């Protein structure tokens, strides 16, 4: 079957989502089929005016009366018995209602909200989501002022697939504590997964106001803009992510996405055996703390690399003098950043032209650009071959 070229397409057709019909279709159809229902007045009139008659046999009446008495006595005895067993003092322990097995009840409720919260959270960690929901719901009911309880209740709802309740719990949590970052973030994620990009963006903005370095919010904000089709905002969000994070698979995905969108501010460079993402715009901008940070990134890579020669190539169609100045400035900056631990051989070149496009790079790059690459350092002790 695998050789069938339509197999994947068939699988895709099978997994296509279906529309859920409105819930009132059956009612509307049946309304059209059934004869019109009598009005309230007609029904009342029929009920009140129709005479009621019933027949009773002596044996039946006796049996009926006996069973009523038996039921009454059974109920009376069972209540008295239970009262005697469970609460001799006349009260039930922990408010457990009479007639309910307290052992069973203890599984779903505890008197202390903290206890319910801890048990619920542990159950959640252990993968018993459905049980956890009961405990966390109880905790949130017992201590409705605790934002964390509502937050964890939301997580439990999410894990059991109750997304509406999940959002309601996060919202309640945020109502109680408007700057509760985990709830804001999770609510944003929930909206994002539900395709509500606008709401998600709003929440991520709130998260980033509280913590501008929150990685998930930075990344997901870009995803939300991508879903909503706003490329300008997406590029800004992607750049904001790379301004904070340059390592890890997400950083590479972000750099790749920026390249796809025709934005070449952040480029990846192969330095020795390491590939690094650098902010081209900052490298080409006037000296400053940000540029120093970029140079330190390069220095860090080169410090741990085998001896190599670094080539700095600046393309600047606006003027050769500017390109030259920048190349020399970067070369000096790098030497300073590496000193005194390691000396570095740097070759600088500059061109008064735009960087020639290569097949891997899409058009739309900025006019000024910088290329960094390394070559092995020529050594004197190499074997000479004749």
Partner 1 sequence: MNRRRLAAVEPSDEEIVARVLAGATQEYAWLVRKYERPIYNLMYRVTAHEQEAADLAQEVFVQSFAKLQTLDNHQPYFNWLYTIALNKGRDWKRALRNRSHHTPWRETDHAPRKDHFQDLSSQEQAIQQQQYQEQLQRALLTLPAEKREPLILRYSYELSIREIAEIFSLSESATKMRIKRSLEQLRSLVENPFNQVSPHEQ
Q: Which residues bind partner 1 (CB under 8 A)?
A: 5-6, 9-10, 12-22, 25-26, 28-30, 32-34, 158, 163, 186, 189-190, 192-195, 216, 219-220, 223, 226-227, 249-250, 253
Using the 8-state DSSP alphabet, how is residue 271 labeled? E
Closer residue to partner 1 (CB): 4 or 383: 4
Cα separation, 21 vs 44, in Å, equals: 36
- CA nearest 354: which of 340, 341, 365? 365
Residue/partner pairs of 67-73 with CB below 8 Å, 24 or more apart: none
Q: What is the 3-state secondary structure (H, E, C) of 335-356?
A: HHHHCCCCCCEEEEEEECCCCC
Phi, psi of 369 (to 5 degrees): -150, 160
Q: How far is the CB of 187 from partner 1 (least distance, A)?
A: 10
Closer residue to partner 1 (CB): 217 or 282: 217
Quote the radius of gyration of the chain (alpha carbons, Å): 36
Q: How far is the CB of 220 from partner 1 (least distance, A)?
A: 7
With contact defined as beta carbons under 8 Å apart, do 344 and 338 qualify?
Answer: yes
Q: How far is the CB of 253 from partner 1 (least distance, A)?
A: 7
Closer residue to partner 1 (CB): 254 or 327: 254
Q: Which two tokens stand for residue 343?
A: 């000396």
Q: How far is the CB of 227 from partner 1 (least distance, A)?
A: 7
Using the 8-state DSSP alphabet, how is residue 384 labeled? P
Closer residue to partner 1 (CB): 21 or 58: 21
Closer residue to partner 1 (CB): 109 or 228: 228
Q: How far is the CB of 47 from partner 1 (least distance, A)?
A: 21
Q: Which two tokens stand for residue 300?
A: 């860090």
């Amino acid at each position: 079957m695998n050789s069938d070229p339509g197999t994947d397409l068939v699988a895709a057709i099978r997994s296509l989502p279906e529309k859920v019909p409105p819930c009132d279709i059956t009612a509307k159809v049946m309304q059209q089929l059934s004869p019109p229902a009598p009005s309230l007045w007609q029904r009342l009139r029929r009920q009140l005016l129709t005479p009621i008659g019933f027949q009773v046999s002596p044996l039946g009446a006796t049996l009926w009366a006996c069973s009523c008495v038996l039921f009454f006595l059974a109920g009376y005895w069972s209540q008295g018995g239970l009262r005697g067993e469970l609460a001799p003092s006349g009260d039930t322990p922990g408010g457990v209602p009479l007639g309910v097995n307290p052992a069973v009840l203890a599984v779903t409720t505890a008197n202390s909200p903290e206890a319910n919260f801890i048990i619920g959270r542990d159950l959640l960690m252990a993968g018993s989501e459905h049980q956890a929901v009961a405990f966390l719901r109880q905790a949130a009911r017992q201590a409705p002022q605790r934002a964390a309880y509502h937050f964890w209740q939301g997580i439990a709802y999410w894990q059991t697939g109750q997304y509406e309740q999940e959002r309601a719990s996060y919202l309640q949590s945020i109502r109680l504590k408007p700057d509760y970052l985990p709830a804001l973030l999770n609510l944003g994620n929930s909206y994002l997964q539900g395709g509500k990009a606008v709401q998600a963006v709003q929440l991520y903005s709130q998260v980033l106001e509280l913590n501008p370095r929150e990685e998930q919010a930075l990344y997901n904000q870009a995803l939300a803009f991508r879903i909503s089709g706003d490329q300008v905002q997406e590029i800004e969000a992607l750049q904001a992510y790379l301004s904070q994070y340059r390592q890890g698979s997400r950083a590479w995905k972000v750099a790749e996405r920026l390249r796809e969108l025709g934005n070449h501010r952040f480029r990846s460079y192969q330095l020795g055996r390491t590939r690094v993402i650098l902010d081209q715009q900052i490298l080409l901008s006037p000296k400053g703390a940000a540029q120093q940070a970029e140079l330190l990134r390069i220095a860090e890579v080169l410090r741990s690399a085998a001896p190599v020669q670094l080539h700095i190539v600046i393309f600047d169609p606006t003027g050769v003098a500017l390109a030259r100045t920048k190349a020399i400035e970067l070369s000096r900056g790098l030497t300073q950043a590496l000193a005194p631990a390691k000396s570095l051989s740097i070759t600088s070149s500059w061109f008064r032209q735009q960087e020639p496009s290569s097949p891997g790079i899409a058009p739309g790059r900025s006019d000024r650009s910088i290329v960094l690459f390394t070559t092995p350092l020529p050594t004197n002790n190499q074997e000479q071959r004749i």
